[in-house]
Amino acid sequence: MALISDGRFVEDAWRRLADEEALPKSGKVIVSLPRLDHALEIQTSEMTLGAIVPNTAEPSALMSALPRLGLVSIAFPAFADGRGFSLARLLRRAGFAGELRASGRLVADQYPHLVGCGFDTVEIPDDLAERQDESQWRAALAAYSRAYQRGYAARSSVLEARRKALRP
């Protein structure tokens, strides 16, 4: 899988564990949602936990765990399934400050909206990364300087820009 951050392909510092794989005593590990409660019970101070969740997950299922998680990865089963965008906004509104990752068959054209919803990184399959190189992801990120709705990106909204322009 290829990982994109700020429009660039980067190395992934996290390790995704299979459900049958033993939890290590240290490092950054990602576990599935069904395995999360057990992982939190045995979490050590040297271990940073992340969780991969389906885009259909209820935010309430994660609320108690959010303060102890360093990453939440939301699975996108298809690029046309936008439920992960809504889940990301809800998690950010709930105060999650860790890394928020979109994982699945996403395309570069969706990148500005992903960032606007609060995603920090995007994980895509290698075959998709071969067809959409780093330059396409950077171009997509730079395509819009403002959005119509407030997001979590550092950019201001169109409305905020208009208000500033009208002030004397």
How much is the pLDDT for 120? Answer: 95
| Beta-strand relationship, 8-10 and 2-5 | antiparallel
Domain limits at 72?
2-166
Give the SS3 label for residue 76.
strand
- How many domains does the chain contain in total? 1
Question: Among residues 75, 111, 113, 69, which one has the least CA distance to residue 94?
Answer: 69
Q: Write the CATH number for 107.
A: 3.20.20
Q: Which residues of the chain have pLDDT under 70?
A: 144-159
What pLDDT shows up at residue 168? Answer: 73
pLDDT at 163: 74
Note the pTM of the prediction, 2 decimals.
0.86
Give the model's pLDDT for residue 157: 64
